[in-house]
Amino acid sequence: MSHHIVEARDLAHVYPDGHEAIRGITFRIAHGESVGVIGPNGAGKSTLLLHLNGCLLPSRGEVRVGEFPVTRETSPQVRRAVGMVFQDPDDQLFMPTVLDDVAFGPLNYGLAPGEARQRAVAALERVGMANLQEQTPYRLSAGEKRAVAIATILAMTPDIVVMDEPSSNLDPRGRRRLIELLKSFEHTRIIATHDLELVLEVCSRVILLDAGSVVTEGPAADVMNDESLMLKHGLERPHSLRHKHPH
Ligand X SMILES: Nc1ncnc2c1ncn2[C@@H]1O[C@H](COP(=O)(O)OP(=O)(O)OP(=O)(O)O)[C@@H](O)[C@H]1O
Of 15 and 94, CB closest to ligand X: 15
Restricted to residues 54-73, the positions that interact with another protein (CB under 8 A) are 55
The residues, ordered by sequence, that sit 6+ positions from 214 with a Cβ below 8 Å of its Cβ are: 25, 26, 27, 207, 208
Chosen from Mg ion, another protein, ligand X, none, partner binding at 100 (C-beta under 5 to 8 Å by type): another protein
Binding status of residue 15 toward ligand X by CB under 6 A:
yes
Kindly list the distances between the CA atom of residue 41 and the CA atoms of 12, 175, 218, in Å, as whole numbers in the listed order: 18, 21, 21
Of 113 and 219, nearer to another protein (C-beta) is: 113
Is residue 88 a contact point for ligand X (CB under 6 A)? no
Distance of alpha carbon 179 from the chain centroid: 13
Q: How far is the CB of 203 from Mg ion (least distance, A)?
A: 17
Cα(83)–Cα(63) distance, integer angstroms:
16
Sheet holding 213-219, edge to edge: 82-85, 160-164, 188-192, 34-38, 205-210, 213-219
Q: Which is nearer to another protein, 101 or 195 (CB)?
A: 101
Kindly state whether residue 17 participates in binding another protein, applying the rule CB under 8 A: yes
- Asked if residue 199 lies in contact with residue 224, where contact means CB atoms within 8 angstroms, the answer is yes
**Nearer to Mg ion by C-beta: 199 or 241?**
199
Residue choice 13, 117, 175, 189 for contact with another protein (CB under 8 A): 117
Interface with Mg ion by CB under 5 A: which residues? 46
